Copies of this chain bind each other. A is one copy, B any other.
Amino acid sequence: MKRIAYFQFCPVLADPTANRAIVAGTLEGVEADLIVLPELAFTGYSMTDRKTASALAEDPANSPSLELLTGLCRSGDYHIVAGFTERAGDKLYNSAVLVGPGGLVGMYRKIHLFGFESELFDPGPEPPAVYDIGGLNVGMMVCFDWFFPETARLLALSGTDVIAHPSNLVLDWCQKSMVTRCLENNLFAVTANRYGSEARGGKELTFTGGSQITAPRGKILVSAGSAADALEIIEIDPDTARDKNVTAVNHLLDDRKPKLYKGLM
């Protein structure tokens, strides 16, 4: 059995120090195996322009946020997935990092950028990968990636047990659709959303909270309110995500017909 969790909070825009304090203050002493934080957890979302984003972004090789997460993972003996504003040379990515007691384990750079994100970030150049953290296979996708069934499908085909899904959702579609994502792929998903509002270019963006842990067969295990901090830890059996049989003779991956799917490419 493994304990998977989300921590929903309201990051302070452009104040990584404050956000690290929020994360440290909540995650110290938590007993879990995997804790998922929202998208862009340390910078907030509505950065004015690429230059501002670049100044706030961190290089994973020299990152106070990764140092904090590593320290937390070491003392708590758990792993964290966090949305991460990444600078890599002259590239900027809306990334998710998987961190454990030994430091950075893996990374995913958001493929499907939403709205003005493409003014700030480069699209991720690689499909999501899967990482085994002590018997739990963790894949990552970020927020709007959920809209594209291809993302979760790629993760399922790579053996993901749990999709860690840092998010900054502003629409109310995702949570219902994660039921379908977890049904069609028979896996767990931890959608860690943020709440609160930010202004950018005279427009107010309100994030919808409602973080959710969804299980194989599309069962919602827990969900958070729309406007408050929420830390929820759920015990799961990863094996239930590895049995891909829908019926005695139907297997949701083996029954696929890739030769007929050429139109997808």
Partner of A184, one of B118, B177, B258: B177
Query: Which residues of chain B are near A153, meaning CB under 8 Å?
Result: 149-150, 264
Would A258 and B247 count as touching, CB distance under 8 A? no
A18 within 8 A of B: no
* Known A177-B183, A250-B115: A264·B258 in contact at CB below 8 Å: yes
Min Cβ gap A155→B in Å is 9
Would A149 and B184 count as touching, CB distance under 8 A? yes
Task: Report the contact-size class of chain A (Cβ under 8 Å from the partner).
Answer: 35 or more
Q: Nearest chain-B residue to A114 (Cβ)?
A: B250
* Known A176-B180, A180-B180, A184-B177: A150·B115 in contact at CB below 8 Å: no
Query: Which residues of chain B are near A184, meaning CB under 8 Å?
Result: 147-149, 177
Contact with B along A226-240 (1 / 0, CB 8 A): 000000000000000
Find residues 198-255 in chain A having any chain B CB closer than 8 Å to their own CB: 218, 246-250, 252, 255
Query: Which residues of chain B are near A114, meaning CB under 8 Å?
Result: 247, 250
**C-alpha gap A252/B114 in the complex (Å):** 11
Min Cβ gap A156→B in Å is 10
**C-alpha gap A123/B179 in the complex (Å):** 28
Q: Nearest chain-B residue to A144 (Cβ)?
A: B250
Query: Which residues of chain B are near A115, meaning CB under 8 Å?
Result: 247-250
Q: Nearest chain-B residue to A155 (Cβ)?
A: B263
A90 within 8 A of B: no
A27 within 8 A of B: no
Query: Which residues of chain B are near A265, meaning CB under 8 Å?
Result: 258, 261-262, 264-265
Min Cβ gap A126→B in Å is 7
A51 within 8 A of B: no
Q: Nearest chain-B residue to A259 (Cβ)?
A: B265
Query: Which residues of chain B are near A258, meaning CB under 8 Å?
Result: 264-265
Partner of A179, one of B176, B246, B255: B176
Residues of chain A at the chain B interface (Cβ within 8 Å): 111-112, 114-116, 118, 123, 125-127, 144, 147-150, 153-154, 157-158, 173, 176-177, 179-181, 183-184, 218, 246-250, 252, 255-258, 260-265
Given contacts A154-B260, A157-B264, 18 further A-B contacts (CB under 8 A): A111-B257, A111-B260, A114-B250, A115-B247, A115-B248, A123-B257, A125-B260, A127-B261, A127-B263, A147-B184, A147-B246, A148-B256, A150-B257, A150-B261, A157-B263, A180-B180, A258-B264, A261-B264
Q: Which 5 A-B pairs have the closest CB atoms?
A: A149-B149, A180-B180, A127-B260, A177-B180, A258-B265
